[in-house]
Amino acid sequence: MTFGLVWPALLGLLLAGYFVLAGFDYGVQMLAPRLGRDDRERRALLNAFGPFFLGNEVWLVAAAGVLFGAFPLLEGRLLSGMHFPFTAILVGIVVGNTAVQLRSRHRSATARRLWDGLIFLGGLVPAVGWGLVTGRLLAGVPLDARNVFSIGPADLLHPFVLLCGATTTAVFLAHGAAFLAWRTGGAPGARAARAGCRALLVAAVAAAAVLVTGFLSSARHALVNPWPALATGGALVVVLLTGAALLRAGRTGRAFAATSCAAALPVVALGAGLHPFALVTSGAPGTSGTGLRLAEAMADAGTLRILTVFAAVMVPLMVLSQVWNWWLFRDRAGRTRTYL
């Protein structure tokens, strides 16, 4: 067994699963306060993803566990160097999850409007944050001789990084809209489909802008494998346009499958563009191919053997629990009892 292939692939799989499953959570949170015309409709939209949203975060926990156990050096460099965006993302996740669960516990209209605002922010902040993190990693980070770096707010204002943030936000928004169009009916479902079409077109334009900006800016110097990353970005644009066409045709299930692929592609682009590195140096031409390699960031072989046995049991159980949950709540929203 080649640990150098298995563990990066597992980390990528868990992150892609998180983007797909939590991505529509964040999209629904951004959409529900606006798509719902009254309190009853807003509750119905939130209840559409109610059985899933906490379970979807398990993929992030699993990815963090793999990062901590199998890539301890990368975990130390990444979390300390990007503490600002990661802190913002985690705060957004906690605030959003709390607001979703507590909104209906208060009967006053003022309190529910406040919770609606927090629900929106709980979806927006992680959506933007993950795009900024992905963009910054693709554009490279300011590594020193010990492969240590620190990213502040100013380092996230690069045009390429900002466009990556806009792209993931639009993709997650469209993903949530496709989910609502698929899982709900009536006027809210129709409004979700229209919102999803608009978001998909915006996401396609933003993704195309990322490709152009990445080619014209200094971000291209950091990419180890520019052509696979470019191909993945082109595939993202095609998938987004396909999803828009499917939503217009009323094929909401297939549209949701398309947006699921779109949500996973940023992780694919990151792996394809940086492999065999985990972190690459930003800077001038000629710096491509310098940084922290995955092989250097991984734990020793003995530790990986123990973790492999553990992962061989836990990962299939996690996947099976997700499949069971989706099967259990396979009916459209409103046909099963909910509590949000």
Q: What is the SS3 string spanning 263-323?
A: HHHHHHHHHHHHCCEEEEECCCCCCCCCEEEHHHHCCCHHHHHHHHHHHHHHHHHHHHHHH
CB 149 within 8 A of CB 283: no
The gap from C-alpha 329 to its chain's centroid, in whole angstroms, comes to 23
Q: Output DSSP code: residue 105.
A: G
Phi-psi region at 334: left, alpha or beta (left = phi > 0; alpha = psi -120 to 50): left
- DSSP, collapsed to helix, strand or coil, labels residue 50 as coil
Q: What is the signed CA dihedral for 315, 318, 323, 324, rounded to 10 degrees?
A: 140
* pTM exceeds 0.75: yes
Phi, psi of 71 (to 5 degrees): -130, 60
Token pair of 212, please?
Answer: 């152009």
Q: Which of 195, 173, 185, 177 is nearest to 331 (CA)?
A: 185
pLDDT average per 10 residues of sequence, the chain (340 residues): 85 96 95 87 86 87 94 91 94 94 84 92 97 94 82 89 96 97 89 95 96 80 84 96 95 96 96 91 61 90 92 93 88 61
pLDDT score for 121? 96
**Alpha-carbon span 119 to 133, nearest angstrom:** 22
pLDDT score for 151? 85
pLDDT score for 146? 80
Instruction: Residue 127: count other Cβ atoms within 10 Å of its Cβ.
Output: 28
pLDDT score for 61? 94
Token pair of 110, please?
Answer: 């003022």
Token pair of 210, please?
Answer: 């990322």
> At how many degrees (to 10) do helices 186-216 and 252-274 cross?
20
Sign of CA dihedral 90, 91, 96, 97: positive
| Contacting residues for 204 by C-beta, under 8 A, at least 6 apart | 237, 240, 241, 244
CB 47 within 8 A of CB 188: no
